Structure 1
Amino acid sequence: MDSEEPSAAKDNRLPRAAQQGQERDRLSKVVRHQRILAQLAAAPTLRASELAVALSVSGETIRRDLLELHELGLINRTYGGASRPFALEAARSDRRQVMVAEREAIASAVSAMILPKEVLMLGGGSTTYHVARLLAARNRDITVITHDFASATALGTNPTIRVLFCAGRLHPGEGYLLGAQTLASINGYEANRAIVGATGVGARGIYDVDEEAGAVYAAMIQRAAEAIVVADHSKFDQLAVAMCSRWDAIDRLVTDRQPQGALAGALREAGTEVVVADA
């Protein structure tokens, strides 16, 4: 019996040692994943071979890491590397239930910027709808050009606000108009300020999931003396299919959190003012 005890103790130690080794491996993988995501925040694409060198691991290990991150939806696996995933947008009715305090703070900050007699262009979306509601509650004697039914309805509750509604084709899920007629309507006006939202806010500019909606926002930015983007921090470092505008055409980003990293650098380089609203 005494001779068996060392063997039993040894057998008990082996699983613990193996478990400790597995824990070290898992920790190492977590660190690798964090570094991959951090590098993708600074650059839109990465090559697997360069990542393997930077992280001092084999090509097989980095390919396995990229596959796991892709399956988690954190990156897009590409031939030879990885890219940032494109942003997806929930239904508008669902979006209205999230980031409410942040969007209200953003809307309040925008409302405080608007002067009587100004002409505004207001894009569609959840955050811009909050802006419309605050404009209706706090501002007077302004003109607002919009293609969004919900925003037009909110603005219409204030009799001192003149609402001009664009023509176009209805997007039934979003409740706004788009297409050639909408663009023609916008191009027939001039405005003091354009206020638009975004699906994604990246180092290169702002993005939308719908290229036709993105064209509407781009036209508004071009027709206004000042362009304001309203977007909460959940949009930071997100890409979508259509780029609406680069930062050098945008005067202000009104948000709820200070941007960091590559996004912050791009805003500074473009001269875009960042206004952080306190939620």
Structure 2
Amino acid sequence: MYQEERLLSILDYLKENKRISVEQICSLFNISRDTARRDLVKLEEESKIVRTRGGALLPSIHTEIKNYSHRLNIVSDEKKVIGKKAASLIYPGDRIILDASTTVQSCAEHINNTECTIITNSINQAEVLSSNSNINIQLLGGILEKEHRYVYGSSVIDKLSEYNVDKVFIGVVGISESGLTIAHEEDGAVKRKMIQQAKQVIALADNTKLGNTDFFRFADLQDIDLLITDKTPPQAFRELLHKHHVELLTAEINDQGDE
């Protein structure tokens, strides 16, 4: 095997296993330790790995969180099908909290003319719902985060403490063994309070969010009751959910005739 082929294979291994040792490289490709080290040096020079004592890791990648309008323009079929499934769980008379994520906005867009009360800190969600005459909308007041279109601050958290609701729908940037995470602490603080005020906590996350961990943890896995996603997660992730008593609901695109 040529070096370039080995380098690609090493990167593939790292994507699956996160780390690799010199001994593993020698065993996988039947090469000497010196050759394995030269391969790692080459990959490091190309900024594709981080060398460690005895092996290598993939470099950390922090995904930039685009502003809300940009994220709305690229709302995926996955988010739409998750939103539709989530909306089907809202019944007449329900009292609901919707957070300020684009996946949760997909839920708002799919709510039928159901008589219910919805509390939100999202000016976009309030606008989407305002055309529905049967929905009573409670828009929380506070500091406006202009780029991401949500309201936050102590006044929001204090007002939330006055409400007791049936369900809350929460979006995430990452959901993993580390819990539910988000990019911005002020957003996470509001989500945390929303969770505390609901009888049932429903997290909405497309498959790209599963197993990821972002900057600020606002909830533990055991704090949620149901996860709605678009693809059946790997067995290890399903076992993680089962361990923390989280129910799983999969809304696959192929199962939705009009998606």
User: Under TM normalisation by the shorter chain, which class is it?
Assistant: 0.7 to 0.9
Task: Choose the corresponding residue for 1:118, options 70, 75, 94.
Answer: 94
Structure-2-length-normalised TM-score: 0.84
1:229 aligned to 2:199?
Answer: no
1:161 has 2:135 as partner: yes
8 Å CA contact 1:51, 1:62 repeated in 2: no
Shift in CA distance, 30/261, structure 1 to aligned 2, threshold 3 Å: farther
* Structure 1 position 213 matched with structure 2 position 210: no
Alignment correspondent of 2:71: 95
Structure 1 residue aligned with 2:256? none
Find the aligned partners of 1:220 and 1:241 in 2 and give their Cα distance: 19
Task: Read off the aligned partner of 1:229 and give its amino acid letter.
Answer: A
Aligned partners of 1:119 and 1:193 also within 8 Å: yes
For 1:18, the equivalent position in structure 2 comes to none
Q: Deviations over 1:134-179 (max 9, x none)?
A: 12xx141111110000101111211111111112110000111012
| Compared CA separation, residues 261 and 62, structure 1 to 2 (3 A) | farther
Q: Return the offset for 1:278.
A: 2.7
Alpha-carbon contact 2:178-2:213 (below 8 Å) kept: no
1-side partners of 2:154 and 2:52: how far apart?
A: 37
CA separation of 1:27/1:183 partners in 2, compared to 1, >3 Å: closer, same or farther?
same
Residue 268 of structure 1: how far off its partner (Å): 2.2
C-alpha distance after superposition, 1:168-199 (max 9, x if no partner) = 11000011101211111212211111101011
Letter of the 1:178 counterpart = Y
Do 1:87 and 1:200's aligned partners in 2 also have CA atoms closer than 8 Å?
no
Q: How does 1:1-279 map to 2 (within 5 A)?
A: 24-40=2-18, 51-56=21-26, 58=36, 61-62=39-40, 64-65=42-43, 68=46, 71=47, 77=50, 82=57, 84-135=60-111, 138-260=112-234, 262-279=236-253
C-alpha contact (below 8 Å) 1:123/1:147 kept by paired residues = yes
The letter of the residue matching 1:54 is Q
Larger Rg: 1
Q: Which amino acid aligns with 1:120?
A: I
The structure richer in helix per residue is 1
Residue 263 of structure 1 and its aligned partner are, at CA, apart by: 2.8
In structure 2, list runs of 5 or more residues that go unmatched.
27-32, 254-259
C-alpha change, 1:233 and 1:154, in structure 2 (3 Å) is same
Q: Which moved more, 1:57-66 or 1:148-157?
A: 57-66
Contact 2:181 2:214 in 1 (8 A): yes
**What is the TM-score normalised by the length of structure 1?**
0.78
Aligned residues: 242
Q: Tell me the residue number matched to 1:10.
A: none
Query: Mean Cα displacement is larger for which, 236-245 or 175-184?
Result: 236-245
Query: Which residue in 2 is equivalent to 1:13?
Result: none
Identity %: 21
| Cα root mean square deviation, aligned | 2.3
The amino acid that maps onto 2:6 is S
